[in-house]
Structure 1
Amino acid sequence: MTGPLFTIAGKELRERLRNRWVLAVALVFTIFSLLISYFGAAQQGVVGPRSLELTVSSLVSLVIYLVPMIALLLGFDAIVGERERGSLELLLAHPLTAFELLAGKFLGLATALTLSTLGGFALVGVLLFRQFGSEALWHYGGFVLSSTGLGLSFLSLALLLSVLTRERTRASGLAIVLWFFFVLVFDLALLGTLVATSGSEAGARVGDAAAWLLLANPADVFRILNLFSLEQAGGLFGLGALLPPAFASPLWMGLALLGWIVAPLALALWRFKPS
């Protein structure tokens, strides 16, 4: 069973390596992360990484905007593109199940995305090690790992879109809508609801529900996972002291991010119909 799966995964990875996709994305990450690390505090007259917290917080904003977009663009046509080209039926004519095809594509694309993410942030890790010592690598390593997890969650969502749609143009449009919703609209709508209900009797209940609704957005899970305290998270989301104590646990937030990787992929596997 694993033979065809790894064959498909290897094919997807080789294609990304052949067209230099991995190298291009790694260079984008490297350039932007270096610029942010060196010039993120330039308005205060400071150049270079002066604080691990400030550097990671600045890189979090970069990742939230850039990584989901790259992951969605990488995976939105994985299945629908094969269907439009007429190669999907040809692939499944081989001794290959639908599960092996979809799981193999995810594994290959996930490997390409992971390599580009790790390669893109490696140089900043070296600079932080020289500046702050080996202890900084623990937190920075967690940041890079969670950045990869965020990318994989949106890659799962992209594959789900690719399975559910019949046209490549529609899949690309829905991928853009998905990026806008999770990266821009979700938090604005949540903050607007909190402001609209503040001061009312239902305000506390709305705030408590809104705190848990943050788990419905993988970008927010990633953001909380990389903040240094619940006070920072509460100030960022306008929730004050309403964030549950579980949000301070990297384990629970890591499991929430893992759920965003597994759930869309499982749904895609369930709904995948080759015909």
Structure 2
Amino acid sequence: MKVLTLAAQEVRVGLRNRWVLATTVVMAALALSLTLLGSAPTGTVKADPLAVVVVSLASLTIFLVPLIALLLSFDTIVGEQERGTLMLLLSYPVSRWQIVLGKGLGQVAILAIATVLGYGAAGIALWLKSGVAEAAWQAYAAMVLTSIMLGATFVAMGCLASVLVRERATAAGLAVGIWLFFVLLYDTALLGVLVADQGRIVGKSVLDALLLLNPADAYRLFNMTASESVSVYSGMAGPGDPAALPPLAYVGVLALWIAIPLAIAIAAFRRRAL
């Protein structure tokens, strides 16, 4: 109950400082833009417009949602400490793990509201059109759900960064570094390793394992391969299907990426001297 109370307070703060509104507007504007522009030529080529939008939105989500999640969470603890409210919060009958979990849950709720409303607006725009297959709607719903999970993984990492440092500016820099590493640098470095290795050491099984070490890659693989109607347009269908794991395995990987950083953040906060 205390965790839910803290989460609800975090959502109220998000509503008061316009975080929910700003995030929803940004996500809705970008999703609608991709929906209207990305599905425009599908009537000529007989492509499923929703499947095309799923591919486009999944690619956008990998860049946008982690950034929003880190902006929400990087000052979870260190921000409270700098404002002088952390000691007051700890004076209440609430455990340290409840503070971290409650605040993280509230930030995920803010992100979930923005994602459902923003991507829901794009879904409604496509629903008004015809020629959308039922399988594509299932893929769209799965994309929205896993987008929230992807955001939750970066909320957990943002909370961890906030616990490990003593200054808000340092936490902000660490959050930017996390975003750059997982969203941009990891895949670039992995590509460089593959080119240099030429298949001598890094085989398909090793590559699959390395991809799972990045939650953004697990998200991408799930949304590009879970649905046949989407995999056709993502270039990941056919005899050479690269999906090494069943779709639920990628969801499990995302769940681990939420649980492990959050558990480390809770353990570090328990040992932190104020």
The AA in structure 1 aligned to 2:164 is L
- Alpha-carbon distance change, 260 to 107 in structure 1, aligned in 2, over 3 angstroms: same
- Alpha-carbon distance change, 230 to 181 in structure 1, aligned in 2, over 3 angstroms: farther
Q: Say which of 245, 255, 258 aligns to 1:258.
A: 255
> How many angstroms apart in 1 are the aligned matches of 2:10 and 2:205?
43
Any idea what the Cα deviations from partners look like across 1:205-234, whole Å, max 9, x if unmatched? 44431221100101000000101369969x
SS of equivalent residue, structure 1 residue 56: helix
Does the aligned pair in 2 maintain the 1:150–1:218 contact within 8 Å? yes
> How many angstroms apart in 1 are the aligned matches of 2:58 and 2:96?
36
Per the alignment, residue 211 of structure 1 pairs with 208
Does the aligned pair in 2 maintain the 1:129–1:137 contact within 8 Å? no
The AA in structure 1 aligned to 2:104 is F
Calculate the aligned-residue CA RMSD, in Å: 2.7
The AA in structure 1 aligned to 2:165 is T
Per the alignment, residue 197 of structure 2 pairs with 197
Q: CA deviation at 1:157?
A: 0.5
Q: Which structure 1 segments of 5+ residues have no match?
A: none
Q: CA deviation at 1:6?
A: 2.3
- Give runs of aligned pairs for residues 1-275 of structure 1, distance below 5 A: 2=1, 4-40=2-38, 50-130=48-128, 131=130, 132=132, 134-198=134-198, 202-203=200-201, 205-228=202-225, 243=242, 245-246=244-245, 249-272=246-269, 273=272, 275=274
- Alpha-carbon distance change, 274 to 118 in structure 1, aligned in 2, over 3 angstroms: farther
- Alpha-carbon distance change, 17 to 51 in structure 1, aligned in 2, over 3 angstroms: same
% identical aligned pairs: 41
Does the aligned pair in 2 maintain the 1:76–1:175 contact within 8 Å? yes
Q: CA deviation at 1:102?
A: 1.1
Q: CA deviation at 1:236?
A: 7.3
Count of residues paired in the alignment: 264
TM-score by length of 2: 0.87
Q: CA deviation at 1:250?
A: 1.6
Any idea what the Cα deviations from partners look like across 1:28-53, whole Å, max 9, x if unmatched? 11110111111136689979x85332
Any idea what the Cα deviations from partners look like across 1:48-86, whole Å, max 9, x if unmatched? x85332211111111011000000000000100011122
> How many angstroms apart in 2 are the aligned matches of 1:195 and 1:42?
37
The AA in structure 2 aligned to 1:162 is S
More contact order relative to length (CA 8 Å, sep ≥ 6)? 2
Any idea what the Cα deviations from partners look like across 1:178-217, whole Å, max 9, x if unmatched? 1011011000111111111116xx24x4443122110010
> How many angstroms apart in 2 are the aligned matches of 1:137 and 1:230?
10
- Alpha-carbon distance change, 51 to 230 in structure 1, aligned in 2, over 3 angstroms: closer
SS of equivalent residue, structure 2 residue 68: helix
Q: CA deviation at 1:128?
A: 3.1
Does the aligned pair in 1 maintain the 2:3–2:98 contact within 8 Å? yes
The AA in structure 1 aligned to 2:183 is V
Q: Which structure 2 segments of 5+ residues have no match?
A: none
SS of equivalent residue, structure 1 residue 95: coil
Does the aligned pair in 2 maintain the 1:207–1:242 contact within 8 Å? no
> How many angstroms apart in 2 are the aligned matches of 1:43 and 1:196?
39
> How many angstroms apart in 1 are the aligned matches of 2:114 and 2:273?
30
